[in-house]
Chains A and B, each alone.
Chain A
């Protein structure tokens, strides 16, 4: 193999598993260390810079970082990255003083944002300090998008959401709530320099052709419409027996909300096997904890309506069969149809985009499924003035993806409005690498690895939470537990950096490494090398760090897979050929481009 080029920031970026997996590349280890140091405001601001909604996300994030977390590869469970974010948000002090403060000097440009969900709000936050006049439109009565209308208050208290929305609107954003944009053509004609479409994927799927759908309509509801009705308090009750169809997070929110609105016997019925449901494991656990059974492998066949009144539903039982390529099909088991009683049914089987308000003759290309053609780097459309992001761009995802795309769209909009190329003039990430060595055997980070298993976030008693739909279920870590959980983080951003011309090949690092990461051996092709290491390097998603040829004609090979970043290699090295260096990586956002510009001028 060729020697690893550690000058390429992508190499170490990938080693910081959580940050790499986070769509917004939040600097997780840095904020976890700040929490351990009780610097909650600073920890909050690291998050705010990248993910804009730390309080919201600390409760609701889909947390793609956690399955990626290194800790999950050396023991049972990853660091509770998400819930530590909440610790920062719940315990912060005055963070306004760290945020940009208006009024900002106008740059003479005006932009419109359609929808006030996380994507648009991110664009607003990034562009406001640059002097744009920003008009934010939403048909709802305040900002937040689906975070407001869909995510139930028992998971996300409205005050937490409002606070973080207000940090943004407080930057001088002109909000136009209760305003539905009926025509993009007209908006374009209003003289905006650029427009961002962050209108989400607001259309809930139905089962229009299923037998009994029309007859039972009064008691059959589309999940997201129903949740919105609950959030805005148009809906306050539901029947005692409820069936929820679907296996995603909407289904989980529907069934749990039903339990709080009078549903006594609430069931989830889902087509796929339990393990393949779209909902996250913790969402399923939470639902089952609230006495909601999840019946998998059930395909709905009819609504049973008697005398104009919904009685229940029938289902065909299936099992999942996989072909050679792993493609799944659901095959009937041949058992008789199952009937389940229901007073109300909630259909939560997915959402779709819908753009009835975007004319098809204004230069925006749509594909045959009605999705706009959007560039996945610039988030530009075929109309140079119009940008998309969040669920509106590529279909329903999650908040953190909407935020990440918002940052990128904001960069494009700023480049566009400044007459630059939105593809070629994109800024590089900000990176830095510096030694953590403080003394012969002392490091600027807490390198001792704790053995604690993941701490469980305490929950409020369900006797209390089931009675009040606004009572938050999760209580969050208390500070001592938060500290202990923070200590589980392995500091993956403190990198092992090898300087080959210092190495005397004494083997000390090889011998001391607890996880057998380091091997000195003859060079070879990657697959061959992987098989010849001290412990076989089977996880190919993790790179090998390979040195140049050493005096004994061997190379140093380090498998990054289960390195604990404990620094023992560097402590044992008599010549400091190994050093522990903190790698800083930050995605440059729109205001960052201007800082660079200013620095140049």
Chain B
């Protein structure tokens, strides 16, 4: 087994605007199982950050526990990182984000990490519209502990050992929309063409951006009868649109049929264009999104793409009216204004 990646790279690798090739965005060599969907999501994050000219040292990657939560070790080596406790990624991300609003926060979690032990943290993070990307690598099982059914396993899905899951699945994307998440997307680890622009858009979104990525566990949940296997997902995936991610300076060149396209501008001028949009689907209308999702569930389809987005989103910092500068950029006098100010505050609370 090679635990080591050769140092040589393709001599013609293109560089991005920062002058970095994709090599600058790599992490350590993955120790996940060969063929794990999580590795493809890692690669999509690498590609998105590279293409979007993101400075890796301006990123903080935070995770919980699980095979999925190991992946921050496999991308953006020079980013900040915190591998927290099982299900506690949201609170660590919240603290970090409040202390330093200038970083890009990428939270990585699993379906076990989010939908079971971390559920409480997850929902509150949504409520607060914390400015972060929250990716669930969803394989319907606890991969790291050898494949027990998770709370996102579909009812009737068969495990590798042959047992059939009797409980209803928690639909994380619907739940996120329901709880007021301002950016909700769903994708499949095997579809980078869709996943990469979604990650870029999520990074740009000013507020809580949730991506639920179906990510087959090749070792424990890729068997016939499982609804999270490569084959099953490929057969049941239904893209709601194709996505173009157009940086502020560029112009949209592709020509699409009238009426089937929706464009939306993000706060920095980036345009996301959704093409070949499903009929009766308005990703800016919560009701239309919810209805479509429920219909898809009944039909046994997995809807992917940008499901719902609120264009005008105010993140936690603007709600709380916090300092516009990160705490580490404030002087001691600003951080500890002295007992007189404290007395004034206390007086205001009386």
Chain A residues in the interface with B (C-beta under 8 A): 73-75, 440-442, 447-449, 451, 504-508, 510-512, 514-517, 534-536, 538, 551-552, 562, 564, 566-568, 571-575
Residues 13-32 (chain B) with a chain A CB within 8 angstroms: 13-14, 22, 29-30
Contact status B13-A535, CB under 8 Å? yes
Chain B residue nearest in CB terms to A516: B10
Q: In whole angstroms, how far apart are the Cα atoms of A61 and B192 in the complex?
A: 49
CB distance from A583 to the nearest CB of B (A): 21
| A571 interface neighbour in B2, B22, B189, Cβ under 8 Å | B2
| B1 interface neighbour in A441, A451, A505, Cβ under 8 Å | A441
CB distance from A533 to the nearest CB of B (A): 10
The number of residue pairs between A and B whose CB atoms lie closer than 8 Å in the complex comes to 97
List B contacts of A74 (CB < 8 A).
Answer: 8, 11
| B4 interface neighbour in A448, A534, A536, Cβ under 8 Å | A448
Chain B residue nearest in CB terms to A450: B6
Contact status A75-B1, CB under 8 Å? no
Residues 39-65 (chain B) with a chain A CB within 8 angstroms: 39-40, 42-43
Residues 174-216 (chain B) with a chain A CB within 8 angstroms: 189-190, 192, 216
CB-based closest 5 A-B pairs: A574-B35, A441-B1, A449-B6, A511-B43, A535-B10
List A contacts of B79 (CB < 8 A).
Answer: none
Contact status B6-A505, CB under 8 Å? no
Contact status A73-B1, CB under 8 Å? no
List B contacts of A575 (CB < 8 A).
Answer: 35
Contact status B11-A506, CB under 8 Å? no
CB distance from B234 to the nearest CB of A (A): 7
List B contacts of A562 (CB < 8 A).
Answer: 8, 10-11
Chain A residue nearest in CB terms to B235: A551
List A contacts of B231 (CB < 8 A).
Answer: 504
Q: In whole angstroms, how far apart are the Cα atoms of A512 and B31 in the complex?
A: 11
Residues 134-159 (chain B) with a chain A CB within 8 angstroms: none
List A contacts of B339 (CB < 8 A).
Answer: none
B34 at interface, CB cutoff 8 A: yes
8 new A-B contacts, CB < 8 A, other than A441-B1, A448-B6, A505-B190, are A448-B2, A506-B190, A506-B216, A516-B9, A535-B12, A567-B2, A572-B39, A574-B35
Q: In whole angstroms, how far apart are the Cα atoms of A551 and B230 in the complex?
A: 12
List B contacts of A568 (CB < 8 A).
Answer: 2, 5
List B contacts of A442 (CB < 8 A).
Answer: 1
Contact status A564-B2, CB under 8 Å? no
| B35 interface neighbour in A73, A508, A517, A566, Cβ under 8 Å | A508
B123 at interface, CB cutoff 8 A: no
Contact status B40-A75, CB under 8 Å? no
| Given A73-B11, A75-B8, residue A573 in contact with residue B35 (CB < 8 A) | yes
Interface centre among A508, A515, A566, A573 (most CB of B within 10 A): A508
Q: Can you give 16 A-B contacts (C-beta < 8 A)? A: A441-B2, A447-B2, A451-B6, A505-B190, A506-B190, A507-B43, A512-B5, A514-B8, A514-B9, A534-B10, A535-B13, A566-B2, A572-B39, A573-B34, A573-B35, A574-B218
CB distance from A513 to the nearest CB of B (A): 9
Contact status B5-A514, CB under 8 Å? yes
B7 at interface, CB cutoff 8 A: yes
Chain B residues in the interface with A (C-beta under 8 A): 1-2, 4-14, 22, 29-30, 33-37, 39-40, 42-43, 189-190, 192, 216, 218, 222, 230-231, 234
Contact status B42-A511, CB under 8 Å? yes
Q: In whole angstroms, how far apart are the Cα atoms of A512 and B40 in the complex?
A: 9
List A contacts of B2 (CB < 8 A).
Answer: 441, 447-448, 566-568, 571
Contact status A507-B1, CB under 8 Å? no
The binding surface of chain A is classed by DSSP as loop
| A516 interface neighbour in B5, B6, B13, Cβ under 8 Å | B13
List A contacts of B11 (CB < 8 A).
Answer: 73-74, 562
Q: In whole angstroms, how far apart are the Cα atoms of A62 and B14 in the complex?
A: 36
Contact status B35-A564, CB under 8 Å? no
| Given A507-B43, A508-B40, A516-B10, residue A574 in contact with residue B33 (CB < 8 A) | yes
List A contacts of B218 (CB < 8 A).
Answer: 506, 574
CB distance from A326 to the nearest CB of B (A): 24
List A contacts of B190 (CB < 8 A).
Answer: 505-507
CB distance from A508 to the nearest CB of B (A): 5
List A contacts of B40 (CB < 8 A).
Answer: 506-508, 511
Q: In whole angstroms, how far apart are the Cα atoms of A534 and B1 in the complex?
A: 25
CB distance from A470 to the nearest CB of B (A): 42
List A contacts of B4 (CB < 8 A).
Answer: 448
Q: In whole angstroms, how far apart are the Cα atoms of A440 and B33 in the complex?
A: 11
Chain B residue nearest in CB terms to A573: B34
Chain B residue nearest in CB terms to A443: B2
| Given A511-B42, A567-B2, residue A538 in contact with residue B34 (CB < 8 A) | no
Q: In whole angstroms, how far apart are the Cα atoms of A534 and B46 in the complex?
A: 14
Chain B residue nearest in CB terms to A510: B43
Chain B residue nearest in CB terms to A539: B12
Q: In whole angstroms, how far apart are the Cα atoms of A511 and B6 in the complex?
A: 14
Q: In whole angstroms, how far apart are the Cα atoms of A365 and B189 in the complex?
A: 69
List A contacts of B8 (CB < 8 A).
Answer: 74-75, 449, 514-515, 562, 564
List A contacts of B43 (CB < 8 A).
Answer: 507, 510-511
| B230 interface neighbour in A449, A505, A511, A512, Cβ under 8 Å | A505
Q: In whole angstroms, how far apart are the Cα atoms of A568 and B31 in the complex?
A: 12
Q: In whole angstroms, how far apart are the Cα atoms of A153 and B104 in the complex?
A: 68
CB distance from B216 to the nearest CB of A (A): 7
Q: In whole angstroms, how far apart are the Cα atoms of A551 and B231 in the complex?
A: 10
CB distance from A353 to the nearest CB of B (A): 42
Contact status A564-B234, CB under 8 Å? no
List A contacts of B35 (CB < 8 A).
Answer: 504, 506, 508, 572-575
List A contacts of B234 (CB < 8 A).
Answer: 551-552
List A contacts of B6 (CB < 8 A).
Answer: 448-449, 451, 514-515, 564, 566
CB distance from A514 to the nearest CB of B (A): 5
Q: In whole angstroms, how far apart are the Cα atoms of A75 and B6 in the complex?
A: 12
| Given A449-B8, A504-B230, residue A511 in contact with residue B1 (CB < 8 A) | no
| Given A447-B2, A506-B190, A574-B34, residue A512 in contact with residue B10 (CB < 8 A) | no
CB distance from A146 to the nearest CB of B (A): 39
| Given A573-B35, A574-B218, residue A515 in contact with residue B9 (CB < 8 A) | yes
CB distance from A539 to the nearest CB of B (A): 9
List B contacts of A572 (CB < 8 A).
Answer: 34-35, 39
| Given A441-B2, A571-B34, residue A512 in contact with residue B39 (CB < 8 A) | yes
CB distance from B14 to the nearest CB of A (A): 8
CB distance from A581 to the nearest CB of B (A): 17
Q: In whole angstroms, how far apart are the Cα atoms of A551 and B190 in the complex?
A: 13
Contact status A506-B230, CB under 8 Å? yes
